[in-house]
Amino acid sequence: MALFDKPAHVLHDMLVKKEISAQELTADVLGRLDAVEGDVQAYITTTREQAEEQAKAADEKIARGEKISFLTGIPGAIKDNICTKGVKTTCASKIIDNFVPPYDATVMTKLNVQTPVILGKTNLDEFAMGGSTENSAFHPTHNPWALDHVPGGSSGGSAAAVAAGSAIWALGSDTGGSIRQPASFCGVVGLKPTYGRVSRYGLVAYASSLDQIGPLTRDVTDAANILNIIAGRDEMDSTSSAAEVPDFTQALRADVKGMKIGLPKEYFTKGMDPEVEQAVKAAIKQLENLGAEVVEISLPHTEYAISTYYIIAPAEAATNLERYDGVSYGERIDGEDLVQMMTNTRTQLFGEEVKRRIMIGNYALSAGYYDAYYLKALKVRTLVQQDYLEAFKKVDVIMAPTAPTPAYKIGEMIDDPLQMYLQDVCTVPLNLAGLPGLSLPCSMSSKGMPIGLQIIGQPLDEATVLRAAYTYEQSQEYHKQMPQLGGKN
Ligand code: GLN
């Protein structure tokens, strides 16, 4: 019996009942990883020996009769921009490709209490800048549903690993869609919690007012359980929320009777693939049949969200990335003087997309343009936020596509950055407003690629998002499908 194709909660129950051991499970997932990784290339670093030791320790814990936690002995993977003590954390960049953090991110500290098995660090767009994982300085990742397609990004490695079965669960980060969009492209569940719900301490900063860590999983139950583990106030991150963390598994009830679902007309506009529109509307109809009420709403500033995001995110990125100067952080390429050394280092070791963002960001922040671009973007950000707050007076959740199209081919968009930015139309508004959002599979395109439904919630109301998602999930089978991967299933 294969184990790699099961969600964590099923495997957890099997471990509790002693039907399997953590070592058997880990061997099964590592076997799968060996079989598919050459094709999928989800990982930058694998930590096989550590994983085997962790599995052994989990089995010893079980043998001692200790109560085990949800993730005890369950193999998962971590996006390579989350600091892991003693394990290389590269952000898929040449500029820190030898960085071995001397500390764990808070999410890792919290996970490690559970004694999980960590298989390695997953691929991403360099410093999480991108939507296809093609901007990795090392290699692209391939979509397990069609290897010549992108897995989405920037958490493309995490999404592809979970979809392919080379990890049972994974962590990603989402600044403008980087958990939800790859989840949508790879047919898995991806949850971006409310800004502040999960500590960012130890997440290598891209755009600090937007970044948030969250889970990528096989199903909604796993997402709720992992959010339980990683959420909560952290003294090391002053932006983390002190709000009480509910038990999110309480939200796993198939019940949407009376729930008001907002359907924002601005999310179904030009550039949207008709198959995506149809699939998402059918999913919402399904929830209506299950007792929800659908209300048409308007989020009038949606059309400005992309331009706003692509000012604010690069501005923050330019500032955050100043530290990679060949002196304080990262690698160095020498030059005849200090300026030449820094120029060589940053010109040669940052990739094209990162340099583009640094230039856009510094331009928007420079004297003379600050008011016209950065300040204006901050004002529009408030308008986007207000749109949502207004809408949430009438509805409990908002539903929309996660991405305007299913996954596209590797190389198809990489030479057209603007086109790539426009792909983020459905995801970036949530980051600007700090709202929670979840993507879950709701259909397959005629070409056999997954399509994601996005569920958007009020600040700190991940519970209602999870309940809506769980209800939909229980009514269909898309989350149970796995890609064929050249007959390797
Ligand atoms: N695609 C978006 C960008 O390139 C989002 C990335 C992210 O969420 N990290 O910025």
Per the annotation, the verdict on 154 as an active-site residue is yes
- 69: domain range? 8-266+277-298+386-480
Catalytic entry in 178, 199, 439, 443: 178
Per the annotation, the verdict on 445 as an active-site residue is no
Decide if 304 is inside a domain: no
Decide if 342 is inside a domain: no
**In order along the chain (489 residues), what is the average pLDDT of each group of 10 residues?**
96 97 98 97 98 98 95 98 98 97 98 97 98 98 98 98 98 98 98 98 98 98 98 98 98 97 91 95 98 98 97 98 94 97 98 98 95 97 98 98 97 94 96 98 97 98 98 94 73
Q: How many structural domains are present in the chain?
A: 1
Q: Which protein residue's CA is at the shortest distance from atom 4 of ligand 1? A: 130
pLDDT tens digits, 139-153: 999 999 999 999 999
Per the annotation, the verdict on 178 as an active-site residue is yes
Decide if 91 is inside a domain: yes
Which atom of ligand 1 is least distant from the CA of 206? 9
pTM of the complete model: 0.98
CATH number of the domain that residue 421 is part of: 3.90.1300.10
- Residue 456's DSSP bridge partners are 398, 437
Q: Which protein residue's CA is at the shortest distance from atom 10 of ligand 1? A: 129
Decide if 324 is inside a domain: no
Decide if 192 is inside a domain: yes
Mutate to test the pocket of ligand 1, among 124, 127, 129 (most ligand atoms within 8 A of CB): 129
Q: Which residue has the tokens 């709720």?
A: 224
Buried b (16+ CB within 10 A) or exposed e, 434-468: bbbbbbbbbbbbeeebbbbbbbbbbbbbbbbbbbb
Decide if 1 is inside a domain: no
Which atom of ligand 1 is least distant from the CA of 131? 1
Buried b (16+ CB within 10 A) or exposed e, 115-136: bbbbbbbbbbbbbbbbbbbbbb
Q: What is the pLDDT of residue 486?
A: 58
pLDDT tens digits, 407-453: 999 999 999 999 999 999 999 999 999 999 999 999 999 999 999 99
Decide if 340 is inside a domain: no
408 CA → ligand 1 middle, Å: 16
Decide if 231 is inside a domain: yes
Binding-site residues, ligand 1, Cβ < 6 A = 128-131, 154, 174-178, 206, 313, 424
482 CA → ligand 1 middle, Å: 26
